[in-house]
Structure 1
Amino acid sequence: MKIADSQQEQENKRLHALAEFQLFDTPPEEAFDRLTALAARLFEVPIVLITLVGRNKQFFKSRQGISICETAREVSFCSHAIAQDDILLISDALKDPRFATNPLVLGYPFIRFYAGKPLVTATGDRLGTVCIIDSVPRDGLSRSEEQNLIDLTALVMDRMELHRLQSLRSVSQQRFESIASTSPDAIICSDISQGITFWNAAAQKMFGYKPSEMLGQMTAKIISVQDIPVYKEEFLKLRHGQGSALEGKVFPLRGLRKEGVEFPAEVSLSAWQDGDRTSIGIIVRDVTERHESEARLFRLASLDMLTGLANRAAWYRQLALKIANNRPFTILLLDLDGFKAVNDGYGHAAGDMVLCRVASLLEDICKDAVVNARLGGDEFAILLAGAYEDSIDTMASSLLQRLLKPVYYEETLIEIRASLGIAQYPTHGKDERDVMKAADLALYRAKANGKGRYELFIPEFREVDKAKRTFENELNQALIKREFILAYQPKFFSDSLQLAGCEVLLRWAHPTRGMLKPSSFIETLSVSPFSGDVGEWIIKEAFAQMNQWCREYPFLTCSINLFTSQLLHDGLVNCVRETVGIHSTPSFINFEVDEAVLVSTDVIMQERLHALNHLGVQITVDHFGKHTAALSLLCQEFVSSLKIDKRLTHDIDVNMRVTKLVSAIVASGRQLGLMTSAGGVETQNQLDHLIRAGCQIVQGNYLSQPLDAAQFSELLHQYAKK
């Protein structure tokens, strides 16, 4: 019982302190919004809040990235945060039993990551928090990030304390002096005729004068000479009861210490009647540390934390400034070639080292740049004042050449190569978006043309990009408009040339370009957000057709090509599982996966291939023989058969080494119990060589062109009659 009473007493004390600040359920204020906007940039989070925790609800005094201004206290993360001294850190709310079923986690704003630092008064009362929130999990905060959050919270508390003291202007002098005695701010009272009548301990510490030295003195003694005229004017207005435009507001001036040192301060003036006398109250806050902290945090919010270069936000601010002043400039957009291989091969520590090395080189090479920035990942940008029309080629070539110098990581030599896209304002764009898009298109062209080079933007790049976007939009609509169809290329047993099955081939009946083969659109489809939907459609359509044919021709097998983005799609295995459950024909289905994809496959992709194999479908290595590393695929349990690369089929009758290689592949397959097939058969000679090599299944235009479903059904009838 005593414990409960003690807790209630503490809560009542906390709520009393909160009420004294007079901030709960009040409109937004720029001073607080400025700090939450800074935090959003500094921590790169979508949501930042300054919360005040009341009896039954939490109120957001300032908010970034969220539409609501309060929530019930019972679901508040911050009510947990104020119960501790340190930062409350939740890496993944779904995995934390305290919050896993919280409506703010399961519903808007879908909190997954939370870090909150309590707002604590000088008397130890916890009023609320400064918190940063993300809708995706995060590992946590680094030490520097923790310190930044602590500093931000101190700045918010500083603003709140100033607001509290301002609100005291309406109380009596006795009450004013009682509160002021424990305030960290200098609080001074002055009588019209007697001069200074009250001088608190904080004023003594701030200015260096004892109360005995200042009582009866004029307050102008502690104001910088340059600010005295403005201060005196406002002070006299209050003294004569005229009212000051600055009354109740905070304004900056320079304070003057006893030893003659000036310091930045914020001052608030107020006047009240105490009996028949007019008293003037002055609150002075030394903001030296706050200015330094704000300057440091704003500087950090403009920097990339890894490399020390300007970040994306600072980059775009510089572009906007240049464009606002209508000053010509040149952008060099730089992207590292093969950077993913560095991260994958040597680890992220090596990747970070390479990024820092590139940043250092840019700072060294581009000393005259307005700004060097890291925009994210392995993308950097250089902003040069002026057009550089005559020297841009030399500059770009020199930059790429300097970047070629290899670096060592743990005695391993890592080579750095980069591509550059160049654009100029106002020639290539009228605003930030246009000129950056121009540089990005030039960079894309540099990479497409072989990497390790630079391209200066030309208008034709934009025309090509527009045509590409149009094509992408058409492709994204093709499934909805039922423009995709399946063709079936017959496959034959090599020894008897009897029909063995078919390979499913995707075709796009484009409304204006006619029938398109995958080579015309598969690259675009692979990066389309609808690629997974198209892949599922192919599987379901092929299964349904095979189920129909296999009722009459149970010997039939069917191969379906899986493109890379299908293997990366989370729904692939479930799609196949559901489809198998409907049609019950897994043994007749063979998924063909390109050898290059399998050679470079990651763990997740391997797990999906094993899962598909366990469902009963077969996995064929397509285009086998392109890479020597493909031999390692023969050890993978999910591999059921090999399909010899078309280029080997093409050369089998003209190149003795290829003939022997094909024979070796077939023999290896036979030893491992793997069936071998070959595509691209175009001549009788090629067919004869494959038969002699022992290849079991063959297909190609020499034997049959791809057929539509009706044509393939007719072919089935013909072979059934034989």
Structure 2
Amino acid sequence: MITAPLPLDEDVRLRALRQLDILDTDPEEAFDRISRLAAFAFDMPIVLISLVDEDRQWFKSHHGLAACETPRSVSFCAHAVLSKRMLVVEDALDDERFLDNPLVTGAPNIRFYAGSPLRLADGQVVGTLCLIDAKPRTFDAAQGAMLADFAHLVERELELRRQLNRSRAAHERDRRSLAISEARFRTVFQQTPIGKAVVDLDGRFLDVNQKFSAIIGYEESELRRRTFASVTHPADIAADLAQVAELLAGRQATYAMEKRYLRPDGQAVWVNLAVSLVRDVSGAPLHFIAAVQDITSRKKSEEALRNYHVELEARVRERTAELRRSRDALQTITDNVPALIAVVDRDLCYQFNNETFKRVFGAEPAALRGRSLGETLRPEVFQQLQPLFARALAGERVTCDEVRYRADADRVWSATYIPAKREGKVTGFYVMAHDVTEQRRTEQRLREGALIDPLTGLANRRALHEALCELRASGEPLALFFMDMDGFKSINDRFGHDVGDALLKEVARRLVATVRAGDVVCRLGGDEFVVASRGVSDARTGERIAAAICREVSKAFVVAGRVIETSASVGVVLTGAAGAAGVVDATHAVLSAEVENKACADDPLCLADAAMYEAKRAGRNTWRLAPNPEVMAALDA
């Protein structure tokens, strides 16, 4: 007996077979009907629809035979799968490959065999439709053609099954994605420590979270019966409505302002309000998303600080007038104020310094008196502040909010310069500087949190939107690469979300290392990434970058001690690039249906998404180049 060797493309063939999701399934009438008809047409006692797995041949239909499977090593069908052609054995005892085969020497005592390969749409042979008899038979060309026709019927059923599996998988994937997206939004909306509200175009509250209700003191049910104007301080309504009008006119995407809401008891509460307008795919406004932070305490602190400044300025002026009599008293007062306080004359020399100068500059206050600011300040700081000194000496009160006195420290100061007058003439100015480092850090954290993906550290969707607006406004050629990982869900299911998250971080690292230093690398969410490359002006360069992305992602990853293999499908769009027009005829027909469904023929990101799905359909681990939006618009016209 001669066992058929494995085909060269065995891994691909087995993957295609398993994608049918048919092995070990219950009998189906569609397949059994074909077996019965073939048995009748050929007057054959045994007809099998045999699918050749890794170690066995399994029978989806077995007319005239009780067994459901046999070992692949003794399979006649394995020889047909190897050759990918019809196999006819008129007498097994005359064929050295089979004369001592257990299926010949024992039940079912095969003497005659004819098997037609079952070939899928991608060319992979997954099994055979075979005829078996316990006695030798002749088999002419006409019978072979008819057997091939019956095999085509089986192939059609297999292809219909594969398409149905794909449709079911896509539907389930979309259903799960939608459910996850909705759950994520609801969780973020409700549990965020920031007040959130959804407001319709007429200003009515559609939805609010508990934090929003707590800030302005109304129950959620009551707010849904009100408009934002009805709970806004009358003095702030006009400014708020003016910003809303700018959003609706499309002149800005978001706005932020400080305003006051009125609680049910009439008490005003200060908030920091950030509003975005949500539009549908056609650009029509849908509703507003508002984020609210209670800044009442900060406002009170600012008012107190302003009062403190006013009081301090008055005290400084008063004490300066008494300086000749009470310098020691003045020194004691200012030394206990957590700020830099100094008096500078018209020659820019210190006349007075408080104790805080010792902590910041490392010099005794008394040692600084008489020394010029140019000697004590770093050259770049002196150059930065010199114009403000001149304005203060001209009688203007000025402030610089970004002063860094020491190069070896990261402290930031807000310095105010107040003209000092005597008998109507400016004799110098007072210096009052407050450490605002923590305030700046808090503001920076808030800005970064809105633009950075917390998992990978890449730019997020909002940051990408801002970058694309800037890049497109510049008029330069631009290439977008929309990348989706192949099989990421199965990795999550098999190894868990912690491994999946670690893999996403590694993918992000490779993307940053692969593209150019100035390119924008963004994670949209899930396993979707986008790269925006400025100055890419021809299709060849775009394809080279896409190939590099596919190549790097397809290399094995070592994550949490496991070797994980994956790949990526990439869609590429070039905007404002003449090189992209050359591929329009080849890709326009393929992408038109996808683009029409998405209603985004003029949106480069949407076109890149559609091209990525075309890469998926082409077999994954590849890329597809879409025509640029201007050419698509011209062809559609």
- Shared fold (TM-score, shorter chain, > 0.5): no
Q: TM-score, normalised by structure 2?
A: 0.43
Q: TM-score, normalised by structure 1?
A: 0.38
